[in-house]
């Protein structure tokens, strides 16, 4: 079963549970279990969307990378030559 189908299926269960005469203790377990499954499936879907976005951009992110300008500092060998 795909993750999208899993979310749809548990959404139906959460929607129907209050109306079918399920005891309150069962409702608590159904809601808790459904919530946990929604969190796992949502995290999984979000993670796969993030990986897809990185793959679509050739592994590069939108943010600029910090690069230190090495030429602005004297190396020990250069400072000895300048004296």
pLDDT, tens digit (0-9, with 9 covering 90-100), for 37-60: 888 888 888 888 788 777 766 655
Query: Does 45 reside within a domain?
Result: yes
Query: Does 82 reside within a domain?
Result: no
What letters, b where the CB count within 10 A reaches 16 and e where it falls short, cover 32-70? eebeeeeeebeeeeeeeeeeeeeeeeeeeeeeeeeeeee
Query: Does 58 reside within a domain?
Result: no
Residue 27 confidence (pLDDT) above 80:
yes
Domain region containing 9: 3-49
Query: Does 70 reside within a domain?
Result: no
Higher-scoring residue by pLDDT: 3, 28: 28
Query: Does 34 reside within a domain?
Result: yes
Scan for tokens 């959404």, then name that residue: 11
Query: Does 68 reside within a domain?
Result: no
* Total domains, the chain: 1
């Amino acid at each position: 079963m795909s993750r999208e189908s899993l979310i749809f299926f548990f959404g139906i269960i959460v929607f129907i549970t209050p109306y079918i005469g399920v005891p309150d203790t069962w409702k608590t377990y159904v809601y808790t279990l459904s919530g946990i499954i929604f969190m796992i499936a949502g995290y999984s879907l979000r993670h796969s969307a993030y990986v897809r976005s990185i793959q679509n951009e050739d592994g590069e992110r939108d943010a600029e990378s910090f690069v230190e300008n090495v030429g602005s500092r004297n190396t020990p060998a250069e400072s000895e030559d300048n004296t």
